[in-house]
Structure 1
Amino acid sequence: MISLVLAMVWNRRGQAVTLALLAMLAVASAVAAPAYLIAAERAVADGQIATAPTSELTLSTRRTSDSLQEASPSVGIEFPDVGRVLLLGLGGFAFYHSAEVPTVGLSPTNDFPTRFVFRQEVCAHVQLTAGRCLIGEGDVLIGEKTAEQRKLTAGDTISLTAARMNGLVRPPTWEPDGPPKKLTVVGVYRVPDSSSAYWGLHGYFVSGDGIGPGEPVFTTAGTLETTKRTTTTMSIDGVAQPGTLDIDRLDQLRADMERLDATAAELEDSLQFNSGIPRLLDRIDEGRAAARLLVPVLAVPLVLLACFTIYLTVGYGAEGRQSELAVVALRGARWWTRWWLATGESLVAVLGGAVAGCLAGQLLVNGVAAALFPGVGTAPALTSLRFAPLAAAAALVAAVAAQRRQLISPVSRLLRRTPPADRRRLAAAEAVVAVLAIAAGVQYFVSDDPLTGFGLFAPALIVLALALVAARLLLPLVNRYAVRALHGGRLGVALAGIQLSRRPGAGRLFALLVASVAVAGYAACTVDTAAGGRDVEASLGTGAERVLVVQPVTRQGLLTGVRAVDPDGRFAMAVVRIPGGSSTPPGLAVDTRALAAVPAWSAGAPSRDGLSDVLHPEQPPPPVTFADPDIAMEVTAATTGVMQLAVSLSANDGPGVQILEFGDLKPGTHTYRENVEICEKGCRLNAVRISGTGSNVEATGEVVIRGMRTATPAPLTDPGRWRATPAAKLSAAPDGLRADLKVTGAVTDTAWIQPVTTPYPLPIAYAGNPPASGTIIDSGATTIPVTSAVALPAVPAIGRQGVIVDLEYSDLISVAPKLVSQPEVWLNADAPAEIVDRLAQHGLQVVSETSAAQVKAGLDRQGPAVALWFHLLAAVLAGLLGAGALALTVAVDRARRTEDLTALRTQGLRPRPAGLATLWTYPVLVVIATTVGLLVAAAAWRLTGWALPLAGLTPPDLPLPTWPRPTALLAAAGAVLVVQFLVAVLSGRDLRRRIESR
C-alpha cells in the first residue's frame, strides 16, 4: 500500500512538490517567527549598547566625608568599603579613583567653588597646551580658559583654600575654612573629549551661571592628602571595557548591578552607588518587549494563511482524483484502505514539506539576520522550533479536513464531475470566522493592552473574514456579468467568467489571493508608517538637521554671535528653550529671521514664510542705550520707608549682563553714578528696579526719574513709552517720568520700570492649548505676558504642547536677563563644514552636538524598527503562498479544462474565444483579488493599526503619521500582483498550448 501511495506521488510529482513547498512555507513561517525574535532581541541589545551615552556605560560608588582633617602626610585619602563594593566579583570594568574638595581663591568671586580634584591617570586623558604633567606634591593643572582669564602660565603659583557653603545668604556663597595651600601651576590642559566614559558621571566640565567655567584644578593624591580639607568626596568609577556590555551576558550584568546596589545600601548611609547601566538594560527590555508584540502581529495571519492555502490546494487535488477514489470505493475497499489511498498522497507531501520547513525557517532567518544585523548572529536554539510541531499538525489537519468529502461521500457523488457545493457548512465556517474577528476586534477597543491574548489574532481574523466576505459578494457579480456576456455573444469573456464563478472552490481561491495581498499590504502599512514616524521623531523631534549646544551665554550674546556667522538666517538659528510650569507650557525662543529656513516643520502646519512677520512685527521704538561705562541717573524721591534703586543692563556687543546697584534712594533730587565695565562699547537699559529692604516692610511714595546719561535723550516725559509691574503706577511729570510706588523687598512686590521696545504682550505660535495663564516663563525674575497668534500641530523639539516666541523680543522684554544654561544653535543642511570654528570665533563654544541623522540611526536600531523587518519577510512569504496555491489550483484544473475546451472547439468554438477563456481566466482573478486585497489591507489597518507600538512602548509627544504613503501600499500590492499574474499567465499559455495541440 505504501508503494502504491508513493507511485501516486511520483505520477503527480509536480502537484506533490508544489504541495510540499506550501507545507514547507507554512512550517517555515511558524519557525521563522520565534527564530527571528531571537535574532531581533540580540539586534536590539546590540543597537542600544552601540548607541548608549557615556552615562550608561559607567558606574560609580561615592562617599562624602564632612569632617575637617588636619594637614598631615599621615592622613591619607582612603577608600574604605567603596572599593570592596565595586571590585568584589565584578569583572570587565576599568576602575579609576578620584577625590574632590571644594576650594576658593582662584576665582574672583565666591559664588561658586573651584573644584580641586585628584583623578587617577588624568594626564592620559587631557591635552596639555603648556607645561608638563603632574609629578610631585604641590603640582596642579588648570584649564586653558581659566589660565586665560586669570593670566596664568606654567610655573606660576596660586593659593587655594578649602571652602564651605554659607547658606545663610541668598544666593549662597562659598567661604574659606582653613589655611591656604600654595600650589604650582605645572601645566595648562584642554579636554579633547569631555563626553568620554573616563570622566564618569562627575560633570567636571559643566559650566554656567552660578557653576563656574567648568574647569577643575587637577592635582596629585599626595597634594590632596596634605591639604586641610572640609568636604571630601571620594569615588571609584568603573568604565565598561569592550565586551563587558555583551548581548550574551546582560542578565548577569543586571544581577551584578542589583548586588552592588544592595551591598552599598548595607554598608553605610554615606555610601552612594550610581550607574546608568540599569537604564540601558531597561531600554533594551523595552525594545525587546516591543519586538515581542510586533512580530506575532503578522506571524499569526501568515500561519493561518499557510493553513488555508494547504486546505485549499489539497481540496483541489482531491477533487481532481475523485474518479480514482470512486473506483476504490466501488470495489468495496475497507475504510482504512480507502482513507489511506485518499489522504496518503497529500499527507506524504505535507509531511515532507513540514520537515523541510523546520530547517528552511531557521536558514531563512539566518540569512535575513546576517544581511540586516551583521556581526550580531541569530544564536539558533531549540526554542525556534517550539511552534513547528503545532504548524505541522495544523497543516496535516488542514490536509485531512480538505479531503473529508472524498472520505465519506458515496460512489455516486464521487463520480460527479461537479460535486454539489456544501453551502451550509461553508456559511457556518464563514460565520465562525466573522464572529471570532468581531470578538477580537472588540477586545482591541475595550482592552488597555489589545496586543495580548485573543486580541493578538485580531488582524489575522479581520483579514480572513473580510476576504471571505469579499469572495461571497464578488463571485455572484462575476457570474451575472458572465451570463450577460454569454447573451451578448462574447463567448471568451463568458467562458472565463463562468469558470471563475461556478468552479467549486473558486470562492476560496479568490479569498486566499485576497488574503495574501492583504497580508502583504498590512505589512507595508506597518513598515511605512513606522518609517515615517521615525523620520518625524528624528527631524521634528530633534528640531533641525543639527543642533549644537554652546557654552552658557546671554540671549543677546547668542543672537549676536549667530547673526555674525549667518546674517541672513539661511542656515543657522539661535534657540533658547523655555521651561514649562504648572500653568505655562514649555517652548522655544528663536531668531525668527531664520524660521523659514532652518527648523524642521510639522506636516499640516502653516507656512513658515509669514510666521516670522507674525512673531516679529515691525519693531517699536528703539531701546534706551548708554554710550560708555559712565552710567548716571538723576532721580527725585519722596518716600516713606527705605527704597533701593538699581538698573538692569546688557552689553551691546555680546554676552555681558549686570544689575547695577545704586543703593538706597535719598530724599530729594540726587544723581546716582557708577562706572560699569560691560558698557565699554555701550549697553542697553533693560529696566529700572525700585524695591524695599525687607520682605514684610512696605515702603510707599513718589519717585521721578528726571534724567539719564543715555546715548540719545530718554523719552522720560512720555509715560506711554514705558511700562511697569503692578507695584508702580506711571504718569507724566513736568520734568520726567513719575512712579507712584508701593513696594517691599519681596520679588513679587518689586517695581520694574521698563522702556517699551517690543509688542506687549508678545505674540506666540502655539501647539496644543494656548497658555492658560497668558504668560510664559522668563529667565529673569518675572514671566512674560503673551498673546496667541498662530496655532501649530507641533513645536519642533518640544511636541504637541508648546510655544514659539521671538528670541530678540523675549530678551528685550526681560527685566533682568541672565545667562542661558544651555543655549542652542540649530543648523540646516546648508551649514558650512567649518561652522563650529566660525561660531567659536564669535564667542560661542560648542559643547555638544546632536543631528537628526544620528537620532534616525539610533531609532533604526530600536525594537520596533528591528521587529518590522519580519513584516517584510511575512509579506514575501504571503505572496509566495498565494502564488503557490494558484499554481497548484491551475495544475489540477488543467486536465478537465483541456477536455471541456477541446470539446467546445470540436463543436465549433472559434480560436479567439477559446484563447480568451484560457489566457485570462486566472489573470483576471488575480487582478480583481489584488484590488480587493488592497481595500482589505486598508480596512484591517484602520481597525487595528492604531494599537501597534510602532514608535515604542512610550511614544514621543509628536504628531506621528497614522497612515502609510499610498505609494508604499501600491508597491507591496504591485509586487504580489506581478508574481501571481505571471503564474496565471504562464499557466494560461500552457493550457492554450494543450488545447491547440489536440
Structure 2
Amino acid sequence: MIRLLWDAVWGRRAQALTVGVLTALAVGTAAAAPWYVFASAEQLAARIVAGASTEQRMLHVSASARTADLPNGRVPVDKVMKVVEKATGKDHTPPITGLRLTGPILRPGAGAKGALVARAGGCEHAVVEGACPAAAGQILISDGVARSLSLAVGDKFAMKIDNSSEVAELTVVGLYRPVRADDRYWSGVWDHDSRVIDPFLTAPVTFDRLPTARPMTTVDLELGLGAYTPGLGGRLSALDAGESSWTMDWVSSAGEVPGVINTVQNEMSAGIVAATGRFVLLAWFALLVVVRQTVGARRTDLALVKLRGVRRWRVWTATMGQTVGVMLGGAVLGAAAGYAWVRAVIGPVVWPDDLDLAMTQSAELFGGVLVAALALAWLSELRSLRSPVVELLRNVPPRVRGRAVDAAELVIVTLLAVGVWQLTTVEALRSGSVTATMVPALLAIAVGLLAARFVLWLSGRAGAAAMRSGRLTVAVAGLSARRRPTLRWVVTLLVVAVAGLTTAMGDMVRGEQAVTARAEQELGADRVLRVDGVSRKNLLDAVRDIDPAGTRGMAVSYFPSTVGFSPQLLAVDTARLAAVADWRPEYGALPRTPSGVDDPIRVADGALRLTASFDRKVYALGDRTQPVKSENPDFPPFDQPVPPPTEITGDVFAQVALVSATGTRTLARFGPLQEGRHDYQTTVSECAGGCRLMWLGLSAARDGSSQAAVSWGTRVSVHAVQQDGRALLDAARLGDRQHWTGSSNTRVLGPILDGSADGMTLTAPPGCDDPNHSRGTCEMRAYPAEPALAAVTTGLVGRNGRNNRAQLELSGTDPADVDISGSAAKLPRFPEDGAIVDLADFDRVVGVSVANEQLEVWLADAGDEAFVAALKQHGVNVQSSSTVDAARGALNRQGPAGVRRFQLGVFGLGVLISAVALLLLASVERRTRAGELAALRRQGLNARMVRRISLLGYAVPTTVAVVAGLAAAAATAWLPVPKPEVFSDGWKVLSPPDGLSTIPFALTALAAAALLAAVLVYAARRLARQALIDGGAR
C-alpha cells in the first residue's frame, strides 16, 4: 500500500507538490502567527519604553521624616528603595540620591522660595562657572537666579528653612547650567517652568550644619523595560512608607506606559489575526480548488481500481492517502518554516509567559487549520468515491450540480447585504467588530462569484456569436471555457486574491506616505545635526560661511519647553528655510525674513569710559501709597501716602550689560558715582571677539549685595560712552528718546527716561527701593529701542504682556515683546502649539545662551558629509545626527507598520497561490484540451490559430479576474469602515491620505499582470505544443 501511494504521488508530483505547498502556506502561516505576534509585541514594548517621554521613564520619589527617631532627621535611601522596588522591581538604573530643603529667601526683593539641593554627581553633570561647592554654606546658582535675585559670585544671603528654626547662611561660589538640556539626570530639578526659580546646588555638609532641619530624601530612578508590567500604575498609587516615622511622595507618568503597550499590542494582534484569518480562508479555498482538480485528474485511476473489485476501505485509503500524506508533510514543513522565518526576521519570544502562550496557540492553530484542510480534501474526494465506474470513465466534465452552489452564493450575497446595512446604520460596528472585519472579505468573494459567472456567460455568448460569424479562434476558446466549470473557482480565487493584495498595497502606500510626512514634520529637514561647543551667533556665522549661497545648510535653535507665549519655539535662518527645510504644503506660506535693524553698539576688550552726572538730591517724580488697615473693623483698608526719602544714601553705580559672540554676559560697572559730572573708566576683558551693548542701567551697593535697587528719586544723567577715543554713544544718540525704552517685563519697575541734547537721564520711580511693591522688583535699565520679535505661530498663543501682548520669557533673560506676524494650521517639529522666529532676530533680542536651548544644523542633503566636516573645522561639535530615512525606519518598526507588512506579505502569497491554482488547472486539463485542439488540427486548423486559442482561453478569464479584483478593492474603500491606524501612538498632526490612490491599483495591476502573464504564457505554450505534437504536422 505504501509503495502504491508513493508511486501514485510521484506519478502526479506536480499536483502533489502544489497541494503540499498550499497546505504548508496555510498551516505554516497560522502556526507562525502567534510567534510573530508575541515576538513583535515584545520588541514593540521595548521600542515604546525606549521612546517614552522623560516623565514616563523617570520616577521621582521624595521621603520626609515625621519624627525625630530617624538618624539626622533623614530617611535612609535603602528604606525608600525597599518600598519603591515592591512596585517597580529591580529593573532600573542606579538611583540618583539627594537631599532637599526649601524656605523663603531672606533678601529684599526675593519673593519666591528657594530650594537647597544636594545631589550626587551634580557638578559632573553641569557646566560650572566658578567653583564646585565643597564647604558648608557654599552654593551654585543658575544665571536666571543670579539675575532675578541680583546676585553675583561672592555674594552672601540667608534662607529660612521651612518647618524649622534653622537659618542657612549661603555664599555663592559659582554659576551652573546642565551640560545637556535633555539629560535625565536633571529631570524634576531643572526642567521646570522658566518662571520658577532654579534650585541652589550645595554640598551634603551644608545639611549637616542644620541639625534641627529635616531634609527631604530624594531618589530618582530611570525605569527599565522589566518595570513596565501590567498594573504598574496601581502599584505606584499604592506606594506607602509602611511606617509612622516617615512619609513618601512620588511623581511619575510611568503608570501610563503599560496601558499604551497593551493597547498597541492588542491593535497589532487584531490586525495580524485578521490578516492571518483572511489568508487561511484564501488558502483553504485554493486547496479546495486544487484538490478538486487533482481529484478530477485521478478519476480514471479510481475507476480502474474499482473495476478490480478492491475493498472499499482500501479504495478510500489509496485515494485519501495520496492527499493526506502530502498535506501532513506540507503542514509539518510549513510550521517549521514559519517558526524559523519569524525567529530569523522578527526575533525570538523571550518572556516566559509569552513563550508558553505562543507554543499553546501555535499548536492549537496548527491542529485546527490542518484538520480543516483535511476535511476539505475529504469533501472533495467524497463525490468521486461515491460515483459509479461509468461516470468516472467519462471524458467529458461531470454535470454541475448548481443548486448547492447557487445556495452558497445566495448566502454570501445576503450576508454581504446585511453587513453593509449594519455598517451604514450602526456606527458602533464600524471599528473593531467582526462585521467590520468580514464585510470586505465577503465583498471580495461576492465580486469574485459574479466575475466567475460573468466569465462563463461571456465565454458562451462570445463563442456562439463568433461561431455564427466564422471567427474560429474566439469561438473555440469561448465554447471551451464555457465547458470548464472548474474555471469559475479559479476566477473567484483570483478576484479575492487581487482584491486583498490591492487593499494591503493601499494600506502600505497610505502608511508610507503618512510615515514620510511624519518623519519630515518631526525632523524638519532631510538631516538634522544636534550640535554644541559654540554659541548661537557663532553657529549662525559658521553655517553662513560654509554655505554662502544658502542652499545646503541652516542654523537652528530649538526650545522644546515653554518660552512664555508658546510651548515650543524654533528659531531658524528664514532666508534659507525654503531651500533647506522640508516645507510641506500643510504649513502654508513661508515666514517672511525680518527687515534689517540698526547695527548694534559694539564693544571690544580694553578700557571703556562713561561720562555721567549725579547728585544726591531726591527727584521724587510721582507719588506712592500703601494700604493701611483701618482701626474700625467695619471700614476697609485705606491708602496712605508714603513720603520719598530725604536724600540718596549709599553707593550708586552705572553699569553696561554686554553680550559676547560666545553668548556670555559681561557687566561693566562704573563708580561709585560721585556728585557732579565725571568720567568713569572700567576694563572690559571678555569681548575679544566683540560684544554688543544690551542695556544701560543703575544699581546700588546695599545690604551685602552689589546689585541692589537704587532708592526712589535717584537720578543719573549719562552723557557719553567711549572706547579708544571713539564715541560708542554720544550725547545726541543718548538723548534721542525714540531710541531708548524700558523693560518689556510687566512684573518689574523700570526707570523714568528723559532725553536732551546733553544725553539721557534715568530717574528711579516711586517704590523702586521697596521689595514688596505691587509692580515687583526695580530694574533701572534702558534698552535700545528695536522692533519686536516677529513670529509665525500654530495653535494657541499666550498673552500676558503690556496691552495683552505676547512675550518671550526665558530663564536668565529679559522678557521681550513678540509680534505675531502670521499663523499656520501646522508647522514643522511641533505636535500642537509652537512658533517659528528668525534666528538672527532671536539672537538680537536674547543675546545670551539660555537653558534648554538645543542648537541644530539642518541639511538639505542627508549625504552632505562635506558640510559636516566643515562644521567641525569651524569648532562646532556634532553631538548626534538624525535623518528622515532613519526616522522613517524607526516609525516603520511600530506595530501598525508590522501589520501592514504582514498583510502585504500574506496577500502577495495569496496572488501567488492563485497563480499556482491557475497553473495547476492548465496542467490538469491539458490532456483533454490538447486532444480537442489536436482533433481540430487534423482537420486543418493552422498552428498560429492553435497558439492563439491556447492563449485566449486563459487570458480573458484572468484579465476579467484582475479587473474585478481591482474593482472589489475600490468598492471596499467606499465602505464606512475606519482606515487602520498608521501609528501606534495615535499621531495625527498631519492627517494620513484617505481612500485608495491610483498608486496601489497601478502597483497591484503591474505585479499581478507580470506574474499571471508568465503563468499564462507558460500554460498556453505547453498546451499549444502538446496539441501540435498530437495533431501532427500540417
Shorter-chain TM-score above 0.5: yes
Q: Percent of counterpart pairs with the same letter?
A: 22
Q: Deviations over 1:46-71 (max 9, x none)?
A: 5446667887777564314599999x
Partner amino acid, structure 1, of 2:373 = A
Residues 944 and 884 of structure 1, relative CA distance in 2, 3 Å threshold: farther
1:695 equivalent in structure 2: none
Aligned pairs for 1:351-370 (under 5 A) are 351-352=324-325, 354-356=327-329, 358-370=331-343
Partner amino acid, structure 2, of 1:997 = I
- Provide the rounded CA distance (Å) in 2 between the counterparts of 1:259 and 1:228: 35
Q: Deviations over 1:863-884 (max 9, x none)?
A: 2233334224303421332123
Does residue 1:298 correspond to 2:275, yes or no?
yes
Which residue, 365, 378, 385 being the options, matches 1:387? 365
Contact 2:611 2:678 in 1 (8 A): no
Contact 1:496 1:918 in 2 (8 A): yes
2:929 equivalent in structure 1: 897
1:881 equivalent in structure 2: 913
- Provide the rounded CA distance (Å) in 2 between the counterparts of 1:805 and 1:505: 69
Point out the more displaced range, 911-920 or 61-70: 61-70
Residues 625 and 376 of structure 1, relative CA distance in 2, 3 Å threshold: same
Kindly state the Cα deviation for residue 234 of structure 1 after the two structures are TM-superposed: 2.3
Contact 1:562 1:573 in 2 (8 A): yes
Kindly state the Cα deviation for residue 777 of structure 1 after the two structures are TM-superposed: 5.3
- TM-score normalised by the chain length of structure 2: 0.70
Point out the more displaced range, 895-904 or 261-270: 261-270
Matched pairs, number? 916
Partner amino acid, structure 2, of 1:429 = A
Does residue 1:655 correspond to 2:663, yes or no?
yes
Q: Deviations over 1:432-480 (max 9, x none)?
A: 3344345545666623761333322233223323333444445545555
The 3-state SS of whatever aligns with 1:270 is strand
Kindly state the Cα deviation for residue 383 of structure 1 after the two structures are TM-superposed: 1.0
2:853 equivalent in structure 1: 822
Contact 1:68 1:229 in 2 (8 A): no
Residues 59 and 848 of structure 1, relative CA distance in 2, 3 Å threshold: farther
- Provide the rounded CA distance (Å) in 2 between the counterparts of 1:309 and 1:804: 58
- Provide the rounded CA distance (Å) in 1 between the counterparts of 2:662 and 2:398: 92
Partner amino acid, structure 2, of 1:290 = E
The 3-state SS of whatever aligns with 1:574 is strand
1:806 equivalent in structure 2: 838
Does residue 1:786 correspond to 2:787, yes or no?
no
- Provide the rounded CA distance (Å) in 1 between the counterparts of 2:695 and 2:405: 83
Aligned pairs for 1:119-518 (under 5 A) are 119=120, 145-146=127-128, 149-150=129-130, 152=131, 160=137, 175-177=158-160, 199=185, 225=208, 228=211, 230=213, 232-236=215-219, 245=225, 254=230, 259=235, 262-264=238-240, 266-267=242-243, 270-273=247-250, 278=255, 281-317=258-294, 348=321, 351-352=324-325, 354-356=327-329, 358-374=331-347, 379=355, 381-396=359-374, 398-399=376-377, 417=396, 426-440=405-419, 446-447=427-428, 450-473=431-454, 476-477=457-458, 479-483=460-464, 485-486=466-467, 489-518=470-499
Partner amino acid, structure 2, of 1:372 = V
Partner amino acid, structure 1, of 2:987 = P
- Provide the rounded CA distance (Å) in 2 between the counterparts of 1:629 and 1:143: 40
- TM-score normalised by the chain length of structure 1: 0.72
- Provide the rounded CA distance (Å) in 2 between the counterparts of 1:806 and 1:590: 5
The 3-state SS of whatever aligns with 2:216 is strand
The 3-state SS of whatever aligns with 2:137 is strand
**Is there any run of 5+ residues in structure 2 with no aligned partner, and where?**
152-156, 161-165, 626-643, 645-653, 671-675, 699-714, 722-727, 768-772
Kindly state the Cα deviation for residue 909 of structure 1 after the two structures are TM-superposed: 1.8
Partner amino acid, structure 2, of 1:38 = F
Q: Deviations over 1:207-266 (max 9, x none)?
A: 988766x995566xx8865665846232456677xxx846xxx78x55688656634364
1:535 equivalent in structure 2: 516
Partner amino acid, structure 2, of 1:907 = Q
Contact 2:36 2:346 in 1 (8 A): no
The 3-state SS of whatever aligns with 2:982 is coil
- Provide the rounded CA distance (Å) in 2 between the counterparts of 1:557 and 1:161: 34
Kindly state the Cα deviation for residue 797 of structure 1 after the two structures are TM-superposed: 0.9
- Provide the rounded CA distance (Å) in 2 between the counterparts of 1:593 and 1:48: 37
- Provide the rounded CA distance (Å) in 2 between the counterparts of 1:581 and 1:444: 47
Partner amino acid, structure 2, of 1:949 = E
- Provide the rounded CA distance (Å) in 2 between the counterparts of 1:861 and 1:116: 41
Residues 654 and 256 of structure 1, relative CA distance in 2, 3 Å threshold: closer
Contact 1:523 1:874 in 2 (8 A): no
Which residue, 898, 906, 914 being the options, matches 2:938? 906
Partner amino acid, structure 2, of 1:362 = A
Contact 2:65 2:73 in 1 (8 A): no
Kindly state the Cα deviation for residue 496 of structure 1 after the two structures are TM-superposed: 2.7
**Is there any run of 5+ residues in structure 1 with no aligned partner, and where?**
127-140, 663-668, 690-702
Kindly state the Cα deviation for residue 494 of structure 1 after the two structures are TM-superposed: 3.7
Partner amino acid, structure 2, of 1:386 = E
Partner amino acid, structure 2, of 1:36 = Y
Partner amino acid, structure 1, of 2:343 = A
Residues 997 and 79 of structure 1, relative CA distance in 2, 3 Å threshold: closer
- Provide the rounded CA distance (Å) in 1 between the counterparts of 2:235 and 2:41: 25
Does residue 1:795 correspond to 2:817, yes or no?
no
Partner amino acid, structure 1, of 2:818 = I
Residues 786 and 55 of structure 1, relative CA distance in 2, 3 Å threshold: closer
- Provide the rounded CA distance (Å) in 1 between the counterparts of 2:695 and 2:406: 81
Aligned pairs for 1:700-719 (under 5 A) are 711=729, 714=733
Does residue 1:599 correspond to 2:581, yes or no?
yes
Residues 835 and 95 of structure 1, relative CA distance in 2, 3 Å threshold: same
The 3-state SS of whatever aligns with 1:99 is strand
Contact 1:181 1:227 in 2 (8 A): no
Residues 688 and 472 of structure 1, relative CA distance in 2, 3 Å threshold: farther
- Provide the rounded CA distance (Å) in 2 between the counterparts of 1:639 and 1:188: 37
Does residue 1:82 correspond to 2:113, yes or no?
no
The 3-state SS of whatever aligns with 1:912 is helix
Aligned pairs for 1:914-929 (under 5 A) are 914-929=946-961
Q: Deviations over 1:718-773 (max 9, x none)?
A: 97999999999x9999989999x999955999999997754x89473x66899999
Residues 299 and 205 of structure 1, relative CA distance in 2, 3 Å threshold: closer
Residues 503 and 364 of structure 1, relative CA distance in 2, 3 Å threshold: same
Kindly state the Cα deviation for residue 657 of structure 1 after the two structures are TM-superposed: 6.9
Contact 2:624 2:766 in 1 (8 A): no
1:100 equivalent in structure 2: 99
- Provide the rounded CA distance (Å) in 1 between the counterparts of 2:564 and 2:95: 42
- Provide the rounded CA distance (Å) in 1 between the counterparts of 2:919 and 2:584: 47
The 3-state SS of whatever aligns with 2:287 is helix
Residues 715 and 565 of structure 1, relative CA distance in 2, 3 Å threshold: farther
